Amino acid sequence: MKTKGHGQANWTERLKARFPELFRDISVWGIFCEAGWDGLITRLGERLITLEVLDLRVVQVKEKFGTLRCYVVGGNDEVSAMIRQAEVESSETCEWCGSQGDLRKSDRGYFLTLCASCFEKWSSNGWVMAPPS
Ligand SMILES: [Zn+2]
Protein backbone atom coordinates (compact mmCIF):
# COMPACT_ATOMS: atom_id res chain seq x y z
CA MET A 1 0.00 0.00 0.00
CA LYS A 2 1.27 3.42 -0.91
CA THR A 3 1.62 6.03 1.75
CA LYS A 4 1.77 9.78 1.59
CA GLY A 5 4.91 11.66 0.86
CA HIS A 6 6.04 10.85 -2.68
CA GLY A 7 8.74 13.30 -3.66
CA GLN A 8 8.00 15.41 -0.64
CA ALA A 9 11.68 15.89 0.23
CA ASN A 10 11.85 17.99 -2.92
CA TRP A 11 8.77 19.93 -1.89
CA THR A 12 10.27 20.62 1.54
CA GLU A 13 13.43 21.98 -0.11
CA ARG A 14 11.34 24.23 -2.33
CA LEU A 15 9.46 25.67 0.65
CA LYS A 16 12.73 26.18 2.52
CA ALA A 17 14.17 28.05 -0.46
CA ARG A 18 11.10 30.26 -0.73
CA PHE A 19 10.55 30.83 2.99
CA PRO A 20 14.02 30.36 4.50
CA GLU A 21 13.11 31.58 7.99
CA LEU A 22 9.60 30.16 8.27
CA PHE A 23 10.50 26.64 7.13
CA ARG A 24 14.06 26.44 8.43
CA ASP A 25 13.25 23.86 11.12
CA ILE A 26 11.05 21.57 9.04
CA SER A 27 12.33 18.03 8.63
CA VAL A 28 12.48 15.95 5.46
CA TRP A 29 9.29 14.29 6.70
CA GLY A 30 7.74 17.62 7.65
CA ILE A 31 5.38 17.75 4.67
CA PHE A 32 3.06 14.78 4.79
CA CYS A 33 0.29 15.32 2.30
CA GLU A 34 -0.21 15.17 -1.46
CA ALA A 35 0.71 17.74 -4.10
CA GLY A 36 -2.81 19.12 -4.61
CA TRP A 37 -2.29 21.24 -1.53
CA ASP A 38 0.94 22.80 -2.79
CA GLY A 39 -0.74 26.10 -3.67
CA LEU A 40 -2.62 26.16 -0.39
CA ILE A 41 0.56 25.68 1.66
CA THR A 42 2.46 28.28 -0.38
CA ARG A 43 -0.36 30.80 0.14
CA LEU A 44 -0.36 30.06 3.86
CA GLY A 45 3.40 30.67 3.95
CA GLU A 46 2.96 33.98 2.12
CA ARG A 47 0.27 35.09 4.59
CA LEU A 48 2.24 34.01 7.63
CA ILE A 49 5.34 35.99 6.70
CA THR A 50 3.26 39.18 6.37
CA LEU A 51 2.64 38.95 10.13
CA GLU A 52 6.40 39.31 10.73
CA VAL A 53 6.28 37.18 13.86
CA LEU A 54 9.82 36.85 15.15
CA ASP A 55 11.06 33.24 15.22
CA LEU A 56 7.83 31.74 13.87
CA ARG A 57 8.62 28.33 12.36
CA VAL A 58 6.47 25.74 10.63
CA VAL A 59 7.58 22.34 11.90
CA GLN A 60 5.07 20.01 10.28
CA VAL A 61 2.36 20.08 7.61
CA LYS A 62 0.18 17.04 7.14
CA GLU A 63 -3.18 15.60 6.30
CA LYS A 64 -5.27 14.38 9.22
CA PHE A 65 -8.88 13.18 9.00
CA GLY A 66 -8.95 14.51 5.43
CA THR A 67 -7.91 18.10 6.06
CA LEU A 68 -4.69 20.06 6.45
CA ARG A 69 -2.89 20.40 9.75
CA CYS A 70 -0.06 22.86 10.16
CA TYR A 71 2.05 22.84 13.31
CA VAL A 72 4.21 25.82 14.23
CA VAL A 73 6.38 26.98 17.09
CA GLY A 74 6.43 30.60 18.16
CA GLY A 75 2.88 31.31 16.96
CA ASN A 76 0.23 33.64 18.33
CA ASP A 77 -3.54 34.11 17.93
CA GLU A 78 -3.21 35.71 14.49
CA VAL A 79 -1.02 32.86 13.31
CA SER A 80 -3.53 30.32 14.64
CA ALA A 81 -6.37 32.11 12.86
CA MET A 82 -4.50 32.03 9.53
CA ILE A 83 -3.76 28.35 9.96
CA ARG A 84 -7.38 27.61 10.78
CA GLN A 85 -8.40 29.47 7.60
CA ALA A 86 -6.02 27.28 5.54
CA GLU A 87 -7.48 24.18 7.21
CA VAL A 88 -10.97 25.29 6.16
CA GLU A 89 -9.71 25.89 2.59
CA SER A 90 -8.18 22.41 2.56
CA SER A 91 -11.62 20.90 3.17
CA GLU A 92 -12.64 22.38 -0.22
CA THR A 93 -9.43 21.63 -2.15
CA CYS A 94 -8.65 18.22 -3.69
CA GLU A 95 -5.50 16.92 -1.97
CA TRP A 96 -4.48 14.98 -5.09
CA CYS A 97 -4.96 17.53 -7.90
CA GLY A 98 -5.81 20.88 -6.33
CA SER A 99 -9.27 21.23 -7.93
CA GLN A 100 -12.40 22.14 -6.00
CA GLY A 101 -13.05 19.22 -3.68
CA ASP A 102 -15.19 17.93 -0.85
CA LEU A 103 -14.34 16.07 2.32
CA ARG A 104 -15.17 12.44 1.56
CA LYS A 105 -15.26 9.25 3.58
CA SER A 106 -14.35 5.77 2.40
CA ASP A 107 -16.37 2.75 3.42
CA ARG A 108 -13.45 1.85 5.70
CA GLY A 109 -13.81 5.09 7.57
CA TYR A 110 -10.91 7.05 6.05
CA PHE A 111 -11.36 10.70 5.20
CA LEU A 112 -9.83 12.59 2.27
CA THR A 113 -10.73 15.85 0.56
CA LEU A 114 -10.99 15.01 -3.14
CA CYS A 115 -12.68 16.24 -6.31
CA ALA A 116 -15.21 13.95 -8.03
CA SER A 117 -12.73 12.41 -10.46
CA CYS A 118 -10.01 11.75 -7.86
CA PHE A 119 -12.69 10.30 -5.60
CA GLU A 120 -13.51 7.82 -8.36
CA LYS A 121 -9.81 6.88 -8.62
CA TRP A 122 -9.67 6.52 -4.85
CA SER A 123 -12.71 4.22 -4.86
CA SER A 124 -11.40 2.09 -7.74
CA ASN A 125 -7.93 1.94 -6.24
CA GLY A 126 -8.93 0.00 -3.14
CA TRP A 127 -9.07 3.13 -0.98
CA VAL A 128 -5.25 3.54 -0.76
CA MET A 129 -4.37 6.93 0.71
CA ALA A 130 -2.24 8.23 -2.18
CA PRO A 131 -3.03 9.05 -5.82
CA PRO A 132 -2.44 6.27 -8.37
CA SER A 133 0.80 6.84 -10.27
ZN1 LIG B 1 -8.75 15.84 -7.73
Taking the CA atoms of residue 100, residue 103, residue 104 and residue 108 in that order, the dihedral angle to the nearest 10 degrees is 140
CA angle in degrees (0–180, nearest 5) for 125-129-130: 80
The residues whose Cβ lies within 5 A of ligand 1, an ion, are 94, 96-97, 99, 115, 118
- Report how far ligand 1's centroid is from the alpha carbon of 112 (Å): 11
- Report how far ligand 1's centroid is from the alpha carbon of 70 (Å): 21
- 90: helix, strand or coil: helix
Q: Evaluate whether 102 touches 92 at the Cβ level (below 8 Å).
A: yes
- Report how far ligand 1's centroid is from the alpha carbon of 36 (Å): 7
Q: How confident is the model at residue 1 (pLDDT cuts 50, 70, 90)?
A: very low
- Per residue in 39-98, pLDDT (tens digit) is 999 999 999 999 999 999 999 999 999 999 999 999 999 999 999 999 999 999 999 999
- Report how far ligand 1's centroid is from the alpha carbon of 115 (Å): 4
- What is the pTM for the complete model shown? 0.91
- Report how far ligand 1's centroid is from the alpha carbon of 73 (Å): 31
- Report how far ligand 1's centroid is from the alpha carbon of 18 (Å): 26
